[in-house]
Amino acid sequence: MHSPLKLDIDHFLAHDWQRRPRLFKAALPEFDDPLSPDELAGLALEPHIESRRVWREQDRWQAETGPFESYDHLGENDWTLLVQAVNQWHPGVQDLAELFRFIPGWRFDDVMVSFSTPGGGVGPHIDQYGVFILQGAGSRRWRVGERQHLREFAAHGALRHCDEFEAVIDEVLQPGDMIYIPPGCPHEGYAETPAMNYSIGFRAPDARDLFSSFADHLLAHVDSTRRFDDAGMSAAAAHGRLDASVMDQVKTLMRELLDDDTRLNDWFGEMISEAKHDLDLETAEPVYSLEELVLRLDHGDHLYRLGGVRCFYHEGSADVFYLDGDRYQLAEPDADAIALLCDQARICGPEVACLKAPRNLLDCLLPLVNQGYWYFEEDE
Ligand code: SIN
Ligand code: CO
């Protein structure tokens, strides 16, 4: 399908991704906001949706978390409302994330949407996540620097800032313009007119988080592991010494766990497929029978994956996949069926009918549709 995103993907990935900030003027020409500031404020009313607002009062930064009922006391200027994971609540915003399908799905974090009044911004800061910031309605001046050594500090209990920085991008973004900010690059944006910004964010786990999550997985799934064993050792030559051979065995014990590919794959698949926030799951009412599911697909209705649902498989696996933190398995391996589930945002009838054993997929899909992970929406 032709993408409206004006970006030389191969060039961008080879030269800029994770490396340097970039400005893309008119990346989405004639961009139309998928939601209005009022709709965004509506989402920020919901206690289960993560929102923040940041403002300045006599040159002092202030920040608070939602839900928010009213903005009257904030006046006309110098404040920003930010709502996390709007793609989970708004299909039009999820469509923006789909423009970046050239980046593997597991790297995608969420789409944060902000509305800023003139002068509004969150101040100079550094994120550990990479982000594409797309300018919607209005205009906002963005400054972005290369990675540089900067002091970071709390400008407010809930707001981390960095020192002033040298910018390599300093531009007033207009609707449809976009900047790419790799992790670790300082940036700040202040609206010139009331402005909507869409931050399509990408995550990358660090080793500390990986170890901590793997340890949780072991504690939950493994009753006992091999224990240190020094049968046959010689008498201790130095009572207080930790021999190098002890450390060798400690490493071996730990490495054996990491070298168990099945365990490692299941842990990573389950962990990385967990949704960032509670999903907007709506159970089918009444639930579909297998016959009804087939009938709707045959009728030409498409099944859409709910925004925010993460669904992955390991390279080489044709039966196991991971969804929302759980492991699933097809009764019979079928790489095409796995690809339909995990590679696509939408499933349509003819694709299912073409599988070597459609029932193999449908048996797995039916309970997931009934739980709301996929939903039907007729095409106009
Ligand atoms: C925004 O204010 O829209 C984005 C905030 C950020 O830079 O992370
Ligand atoms: Co940022």
pLDDT tens per residue across span 64-123: 999 999 999 999 999 999 999 999 999 999 999 999 999 999 999 999 999 999 999 999
Question: Where do the domains of the chain lie?
Answer: 9-202, 290-377
Q: How open is the CA angle 130-277-337, to the nearest 5 degrees?
A: 85
**Closest listed ligand to the CA of 127:** 2
Which helix (H) or strand (E) element contains residue 338?
Answer: helix 335-342
Encode pLDDT of 228-243 as tens digits.
999 999 999 999 999 9
Cis peptide before 286 (omega within 30 of 0): yes
Going by pLDDT thresholds of 50, 70 and 90, the confidence category of residue 380 is: very low
**Ligand 2: centre distance to CA 337 (Å):** 38
Single-letter amino acid, residue 270: E
Q: How open is the CA angle 380-105-18, to the nearest 5 degrees?
A: 125
Percent over 90 (pLDDT), the chain? 95
Taking the model in full, what pTM does it have? 0.94
- Would you state the pLDDT for residue 329? 98
Instruction: Answer yes or no: is the C-beta of 189 below 6 A from any ligand 1 atom.
Output: yes
CATH architecture of 290-377: 3-Layer(aba) Sandwich (3.40)
**Ligand 1: centre distance to CA 43 (Å):** 17
Return the closest-CA partner of residue 363 out of 324, 342, 337, 343. Answer: 337
By CB atoms closer than 10 A (0-12, 13-18, 19+), residue 99 is middle
Q: Which two tokens stand for residue 312?
A: 């992955």
Neighbours of 348 (CB within 10 A): 15
Fold of 9-202: Jelly Rolls (2.60.120)
For residue 54, give the ligand 1 atom closest to its CA: 2
Return the closest-CA partner of residue 339 out of 327, 351, 357. Answer: 351
Instruction: Answer yes or no: is the C-beta of 66 below 6 A from any ligand 1 atom.
Output: no
Encode pLDDT of 262-306 as tens digits.
999 999 999 999 998 889 899 999 999 999 999 999 999 999 999
Output helix, strand, coil percentages for the chain, rounded to the nearest 5.
30, 25, 45
**Closest listed ligand to the CA of 190:** 1
**Ligand 1: centre distance to CA 54 (Å):** 11
Instruction: Answer yes or no: is the C-beta of 197 below 6 A from any ligand 1 atom.
Output: yes
Going by pLDDT thresholds of 50, 70 and 90, the confidence category of residue 339 is: very high
Q: Residue range 318-341: average pLDDT?
A: 98
**Ligand 2: centre distance to CA 219 (Å):** 35
Going by pLDDT thresholds of 50, 70 and 90, the confidence category of residue 58 is: confident
Instruction: Answer yes or no: is the C-beta of 122 below 6 A from any ligand 1 atom.
Output: yes
Alpha-carbon distance values, 41 to 38, 46, 76, 134 (Å): 5, 9, 15, 19
Percent over 70 (pLDDT), the chain? 99
Neighbours of 2 (CB within 10 A): 4
Cis peptide before 67 (omega within 30 of 0): yes
Residues 192, 138 contacting (CB under 8 angstroms): yes
Q: Which two tokens stand for residue 325?
A: 């933190």
For residue 125, give the ligand 1 atom closest to its CA: 7
Distance CA 281, CA 374 (A): 9
Instruction: Answer yes or no: is the C-beta of 127 below 6 A from any ligand 1 atom.
Output: yes
Instruction: Answer yes or no: is the C-beta of 114 below 6 A from any ligand 1 atom.
Output: yes
Instruction: Answer yes or no: is the C-beta of 199 below 6 A from any ligand 1 atom.
Output: yes
Collect all residues with Cβ–Cβ distance below 8 Å to 82 and sequence separation of at least 6. 51, 52, 53, 54, 112, 113, 114, 122
Instruction: Answer yes or no: is the C-beta of 87 below 6 A from any ligand 1 atom.
Output: no
> What DSSP line would sit under 259-316, residue for residue?
T-HHHHHHHHHHHHTS-SS-------SSPPPHHHHHHHHHTTPEEEEPTT--EE--TT
Encode pLDDT of 159-211 as tens digits.
999 999 999 999 999 999 999 999 999 999 999 999 999 999 999 999 999 99
- Would you state the pLDDT for residue 1? 57
**Ligand 1: centre distance to CA 122 (Å):** 6
- Bridge partners of 329, per DSSP, are 320
For residue 122, give the ligand 1 atom closest to its CA: 2
Q: Residue range 50-58: average pLDDT?
A: 94
**Ligand 1: centre distance to CA 190 (Å):** 9
Instruction: Answer yes or no: is the C-beta of 187 below 6 A from any ligand 1 atom.
Output: yes
